[in-house]
Amino acid sequence: MLLSNDPKILVNKGKVLYKLGGDAYKRALDIYKKVLKINPNNVEAWSGKGLVHLGLNQSQQASESFEKVKQLRPNDPSIWQQIGLTVEQMKGGQSARLYFEEALSSYDDLLARKPRDIISWTDRGTVLLKLNRPQEALDSYQKAIDIDVNFYEALMGKGNTLVLLGENNYLDALIAYNQASKIRPKDYQVWYNRGMLLSQHLKRQGEAIESFDQAIQLRDNFHPAWLGKGIALTEIARHQPALEAFDQAIKRQPQDPFIWANRGDTLTELKRYREARDSYQQAIDLGFPRAELETQLANAQKLAAD
């Protein structure tokens, strides 16, 4: 089958192959090289080529490709942010740090010229979080909110950062999530984040369950909301509905060992010891540290035998 010579189509095909990894890396590299023969200044092709070289552990070639990106798009921080996110997924946060620092420097330069660029203040906050600088990230999100008090992404970033900053900031985080939920009530993510804050940190389980239910109503297949709901129900000793929530989570993501472990605890509370034993074992088989479940598993085995 002949490949299109349209650079945009070729770049998209390269992205698909890159995501497949393994042997597909070399095919992606060939496509990016073809794009660069058509247009030697195609920034997406240089960026994709650099990422493929990283996937192939060819650090020198990757650096050369990214240097070309820098020459062609010196004032575009978003491309460095995207490279950082991709490298983080592939090689971990430490490897991605260099690219996030490049993105931060570019955002600083851009904002010196355009101090009311609300999207850049928000994205800068996200980059600062990646660099483990939460107080500066909070300040960046607040800059965006000062420009537009109803900017949803900045409010979400502010809420998430306040949660990271710890106990003295939880109520302010809730205020940020509440404001965000009024602006975009159909976004499941704000209801989920709000539920996690209410359940794990503020211990307001009834409100947390309502928030998880909102998230589930908006995105039924989002298994973390079912898991969060199950944990919140467990905290107030509503074990049967908690079990039902965990079962719903498993239907949507049967490979998550954390769900199986929590399900085992709930079945133990319901005195269904054989099922609890099997649930713990499934959690371990899926990668949950055996040492952390050893006591629960042994207890369930003993009670099942009795």
Q: Give the domain ranges of the chain.
A: 255-306
Predicted confidence at residue 2, as pLDDT, reads 43
DSSP, residue by residue, the chain: -PPP--HHHHHHHHHHHHHH-TTHHHHHHHHHHHHHHH-TT-HHHHHHHHHHHHHTT-HHHHHHHHHHHHHH-TT-HHHHHHHHHHHHHHH-HHHHHHHHHHHHHHHHHHHHH-TT-HHHHHHHHHHHHHTT-HHHHHHHHHHHHHH-TT-HHHHHHHHHHHHHH-GGGHHHHHHHHHHHHHH-TT-HHHHHHHHHIIIIIS--HHHHHHHHHHHHHH-TT-HHHHHHHHHHHHHTT-HHHHHHHHHHHHHH-TT-HHHHHHHHHHHHHTT-HHHHHHHHHHHHHTT--HHHHHHHHHHHHHHHH-
- The model's pTM is 0.82
Per-residue model confidence as pLDDT tens for the chain (306 residues): 445 678 889 989 988 888 888 888 999 999 999 999 999 999 889 888 988 888 888 878 887 888 888 788 877 898 888 888 878 877 888 888 988 999 999 999 999 999 999 999 999 999 999 999 999 999 999 999 999 999 999 999 999 999 999 999 999 999 999 999 999 999 999 999 999 999 999 999 999 999 999 999 999 999 999 999 999 999 999 999 999 999 999 999 999 999 999 999 999 999 999 999 999 999 999 999 999 999 999 999 999 887
CA distance 82 to 94: 15
Query: Could you tell me the sign of the dihedral formed by the alpha carbons of 192, 196, 198, 199, in that order?
Result: positive
Q: How far is CA 201 from the centre of its chain?
A: 20
Which residue, 74, 21, 17, is CA-closest to 43? Answer: 74
Taking residue 235's Cβ as centre, other Cβ atoms within 10 Å add up to 15
- Write down the pLDDT at residue 3: 52
Which residue is it, tokens 């965000």?
180
For CA atoms 21, 23, 28, 33, the dihedral sign is: positive
